A and B are shown apart, each in its own frame.
Chain A
Amino acid sequence: MSKFYNVFLGGKSGAIGLGILAALLLVVFPMALDVFRLNLMAKYLSYAFVAIGLVVCWGHGGILSLGQGVFWGLGGYCIAAFLKLEAARNIALEATSDQMKALTTLGLPDFMDWNQITELPWFWYGFKSLPVSIILMFVVPSVLAYLLGTAIFKRRVAGVYFAIITQALAWIMEMLFVTRQGWTGGINGITDLRTMWGWDIRTTSAQYTLYFTTSVLLLACILVCRGILNSKLGRLLVALRDEEDRVRFSGYDAANIKRFAFVVAAIISALGGGLFVMNVGFMSPKLVTIEPSIYMVIFCAVGGRMSLIGAVYGALVVQFGRTWFSEQYPAMWYFLMGGVFIVVTRYFPNGLAGIYDDYVAPLFKKLGSRRPKAVASGFDSTAPAIVPNTVNTTGN
């Protein structure tokens, strides 16, 4: 139990941070927000998965991927494909007039009809079943990440080169998904998703259920990533980021460790994509191209690239700011968002978590040490707590 406490919760401060986040997500937000805002929050949270993945592979591993949108999108598309097939089946069955029956083919998504495709393409067969779709949601992105990771890290492509390659990958994926209209729904993506195994995902109760599912899975992902980062593997990852050659000379397979981090990030991102589709009800290639992928990195940077919990706040703050600014000051929001990126990278390389560690936490400590009672009750402000979030990040 104490191992669980130290490794997965990250000791006292980690447990408190996670507790506050859990309370916010599971109690405060559902009570304070109406169902529309809560659904919006679930949408934001499904992006937070990517940010968590980026903390693992970028913050700790130094692998900056500008193509996380690809994995997020592939996960989303897998779920969207299943939901679309189910919707198509229902629409064809519910068709009453002969005219409607002539317009719809049983079990074929509408965009395939529009593109003169008469038979379901073979790679869509798996999406007829929900379990297979869920498996594919994890398998497709992780296989891609595995292959890419093998090819790239074995050849020791790193840093900027890796970033550019992943960016090109995001672009390739967008171009393919947009032009292969009959297979992917083209620029509109896969829209008009309604039910999942007969369960209407658009009702209020479904949106509540999906919000709580998203929150709980997000918290679970944080725990798993904490476990990874606090293990020996996590320390190796940081060592690789800071001094790769030394780790390699010590006999470790650097490529293998990096690939693991990359695949973990891809799987978590894919989960977020799948949840996004269920929460929002559509998926489109516009959400997975270069710009959204850079935004995902920004979420992570604003929250703090070393802090798993910070990444969630970063995703929430940036997306909320984006929505709010574009509603309140439509002309100004680009300036403001640009300014935020500049200021955060220039002055707060560790993001919100860095602000907390540098300014807020010392304040608490000061307050704590002034009160003799706190010291007497065993609160030792001088002992170094196990805080994975405060690892020094002077490197890239």
Chain B
Amino acid sequence: MMHMMLPMLAQTSWDEYKAIFLMQGFAGLSLFSVFLLMSLGLAIIFGQMRVINMAHGEFLTLGAYVTAIMSTFVMESFPDFMPYYFPLAVVGAFVAAFIVGYLVEFSLIRHLYNRPLDTLLATWGVSMVMQECFRQLFGARETSATLPDWLMGSWAPTEQIDIPLNGLLMLGMSIGMLLLVYLLLYRSRWGLRVRATTMNRAMAGAVGINTKRTDRVTFALGCGIAGIAGAGFTTIGSVSPTAGSAYIVDTFIVVVFGGAGSLIGTLISAFAIGQAQSILEFFLTGVLAKVFVLLAVIVILMMRPQGLFAQKVRR
């Protein structure tokens, strides 16, 4: 493929070349922020708790719907509030996904902790039910959130470079969420409880940690973060009942590739996969790029079965 690119590159000036490089780098970065934002919730639910949540994408869709509904509501009832509604929508998306996640854990997941592969089947059922709920409530058609004016448009540092603002917002959100999750998991009392519970449930219970409550809140929090990701998603695309399920495999691949239970692994794997895919897309078609990235991930997983950054646990 390179030899086809070379004549084209020879004609481009250095500035243009740099611009292409930067724009391409940013395309990779925005893909990275999408992957990271999606994977953070799963990094908690799957990485820490070992629950295979196939309904993760639906929690994302839920957050996106909450944002879309809020944007319509604000635009119709309080048009003056429009520029400020987005942070509120993020909170709303989190709360909605948190509550639903809490209920799902309470009614289903807590019975399946010693059967991890069964959580896959059960949550597949949950995802079907949730999708149908969306279809009944909001219709099968795609809807989208109305963005505040400050999010439209783009930032152009030079003539050739053009970086969309919503992409920057996604990047900011994903980095912010990463920091938040890091602080919660590794720098707080609660995080200590979560890690103790997931590493050795019996021992954690013996030293006085309420493991049931910890599990429930952890799962709900992972779902809530998926909801926030959904709110972020409305800035770059529209929402349909099946929107979330399109990303579920990608999300799992990111978490597994980075090494379940390692936050830094999730960060690096999201970055690597996002950049690799965007660079390959420059040379090949999108589908082939995807195929190559997936194959590369599979091969690397065979060399490092526990992912790039395996959690060190004594068994």
The digit string for A134-174, where 1 denotes a CB below 8 A from any CB of B, is 00000000000000000110011101110111011101100
Q: Which residues of A contact B253 (CB under 8 A)?
A: 164, 168
Does residue B44 face the partner (Cβ distance < 8 Å to A)?
no
User: Number of contacting residues on A, CB 8 A?
Assistant: 41
Interface residues of B in 167-212 (CB under 8 A from A): none
Interface of B is mostly: helix
Does residue B94 face the partner (Cβ distance < 8 Å to A)?
no
What distance in Å separates the Cβ of B287 from its nearest Cβ neighbour in chain A?
5
Q: How far is the CA of A301 from the CA of B117 in the complex (A)?
A: 11
User: Number of contacting residues on B, CB 8 A?
Assistant: 42
Choice from B116, B301, B303 contacting A159 with Cβ under 8 Å: B116
Does residue A349 face the partner (Cβ distance < 8 Å to B)?
yes
Does residue B252 face the partner (Cβ distance < 8 Å to A)?
yes
Q: How far is the CA of A176 from the CA of B305 in the complex (A)?
A: 25
Q: Are B126 and A342 in contact (CB under 8 A)?
A: yes
Does residue A338 face the partner (Cβ distance < 8 Å to B)?
yes
Q: With contacts defined as CB atoms under 8 Å apart, how many contacts are there between chain A and chain B in the complex?
A: 111
Q: How far is the CA of A297 from the CA of B52 in the complex (A)?
A: 15
Q: Which residue of B lies closest to A152 (CB)?
A: B302
Q: Are A294 and B124 in contact (CB under 8 A)?
A: yes
Q: Which residues of A contact B308 (CB under 8 A)?
A: none
Interface of A is mostly: helix
Q: Are B303 and A342 in contact (CB under 8 A)?
A: no
Q: Are B303 and A341 in contact (CB under 8 A)?
A: no
Q: Are A341 and B298 in contact (CB under 8 A)?
A: no
What distance in Å separates the Cβ of B1 from its nearest Cβ neighbour in chain A?
16
Q: Are A160 and B122 in contact (CB under 8 A)?
A: no
Does residue A371 face the partner (Cβ distance < 8 Å to B)?
no
Does residue B297 face the partner (Cβ distance < 8 Å to A)?
yes
Given contacts A396-B115, A396-B116, contact A175 B301 (CB under 8 A): no
Choice from A160, A340, A349 contacting B115 with Cβ under 8 Å: A349
Q: Are B303 and A155 in contact (CB under 8 A)?
A: yes
What distance in Å separates the Cβ of A319 from its nearest Cβ neighbour in chain B?
16
Q: Which residues of B contact A179 (CB under 8 A)?
A: 285, 287-288
Does residue B136 face the partner (Cβ distance < 8 Å to A)?
yes
Does residue A36 face the partner (Cβ distance < 8 Å to B)?
no
Q: Which residues of B contact A395 (CB under 8 A)?
A: 115
Does residue B103 face the partner (Cβ distance < 8 Å to A)?
no
Given contacts A159-B116, A175-B287, A396-B115, contact A337 B121 (CB under 8 A): no
Q: Which residue of B lies closest to A168 (CB)?
A: B294
Q: Which residues of A contact B132 (CB under 8 A)?
A: 331, 334-335, 338
Q: Which residues of B contact A204 (CB under 8 A)?
A: none
Q: Are B118 and A345 in contact (CB under 8 A)?
A: yes
Choice from A157, A169, A301, A341 contacting B305 with Cβ under 8 Å: A157
Q: How far is the CA of A152 from the CA of B300 in the complex (A)?
A: 11
Q: Are A341 and B124 in contact (CB under 8 A)?
A: yes
Q: Which residue of B lies closest to A341 (CB)?
A: B125
Q: Which residues of B contact A169 (CB under 8 A)?
A: 298
Q: Are B122 and A342 in contact (CB under 8 A)?
A: yes
Q: Which residue of B lies closest to A290 (CB)?
A: B249
**22 intermolecular pairs with C-beta atoms under 8 Å apart:** A155-B303, A157-B301, A160-B120, A160-B260, A161-B305, A163-B52, A163-B117, A168-B249, A168-B297, A168-B298, A169-B298, A175-B287, A290-B249, A294-B121, A335-B129, A335-B132, A337-B128, A338-B129, A341-B125, A342-B129, A344-B121, A349-B118
- A-side residues, CB < 8 A to B, are 64, 151-152, 155-157, 159-161, 163-165, 167-169, 171-172, 175-176, 178-179, 290, 294, 297-298, 301, 331, 334-335, 337-342, 344-346, 349, 395-396
Besides the known contacts A334-B132, A339-B129, A341-B121, 6 further A-B residue pairs in the complex with CB atoms under 8 A apart: A155-B303, A159-B117, A297-B121, A338-B129, A342-B108, A396-B117
